[in-house]
């Protein structure tokens, strides 16, 4: 069993965790591909002498706005919600991961942890419960015991492997 000290993520740590988990990477690629496809089809219409539809650039603009502007808004909203819960701590044991907040305990079996990312400053667990996806960031600053950061990495490698 491995238990962390009580901690609350800073805004910077939260953004680093989201960046490490990279949940929105595909949306930005889709937006870029949409812009390229729209430009190519627009050029093809002009080359063939037909007037291009004004809906195509408008649809591309909407997709770009959704892919670029909405994810940071969602991230900020999730951070505000998590910050309101106060300090918490995590416990990893044979049954899974438990998050102890100020008022409740959330328990997730190992099957809900789909992978993890490790950076110099933190370990980010990738979670899935039904259709919901989430992440759990554990800053290495709260792993103060001798070798706890290495132990956490070894436990996660053994249980779920790198995601």
Distance, CA of 108 to CA of 120 (rounded, Å):
25
Greater pLDDT, 120 or 86: 120
Measured CA angle at 54 (ends 51, 55), to 5 deg: 130
Which of these, 138, 150, 160, lies nearest to 16 by C-alpha position?
Answer: 138
- The band of 38, judged by pLDDT with boundaries at 50, 70 and 90, is confident
Bridge-based pairing of strands 113-118 and 122-129 is antiparallel
- The band of 163, judged by pLDDT with boundaries at 50, 70 and 90, is low
Distance, CA of 58 to CA of 74 (rounded, Å):
23
| pLDDT for 25 | 66
Which of these, 97, 76, 105, 81, lies nearest to 18 by C-alpha position?
Answer: 76
- The band of 60, judged by pLDDT with boundaries at 50, 70 and 90, is confident
DSSP run (H or E) holding 113: strand 113-118
Per-chain mean pLDDT for the chain = 82
| pLDDT for 50 | 84
For the segment 46-58, the average pLDDT, to the nearest whole number, is 83
CA atoms within 13 A on the CB side of 151: 13
């Amino acid at each position: 069993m491995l238990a962390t000290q009580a901690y609350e993520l800073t805004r910077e740590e939260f953004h680093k965790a989201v960046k490490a988990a990279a949940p929105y990477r595909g949306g930005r690629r889709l937006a870029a591909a949409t812009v390229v496809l729209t430009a190519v089809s627009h050029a093809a219409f002009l080359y063939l002498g037909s007037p291009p539809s004004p809906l195509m650039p408008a649809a591309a603009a909407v997709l770009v706005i959704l892919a670029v502007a909405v994810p940071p808004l969602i991230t900020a909203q999730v951070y505000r919600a998590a910050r309101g819960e106060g300090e918490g701590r995590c416990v990893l044991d044979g049954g899974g991961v438990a998050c102890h907040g100020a008022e409740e305990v959330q328990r997730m079996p190992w099957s809900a942890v789909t992978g993890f990312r490790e950076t110099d400053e933190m370990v980010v667990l990738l979670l899935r419960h039904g259709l919901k996806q989430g992440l759990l960031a554990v800053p290495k600053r709260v792993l103060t015991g001798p070798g706890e950061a290495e132990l956490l990495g070894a436990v996660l490698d053994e249980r779920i492997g790198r995601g």
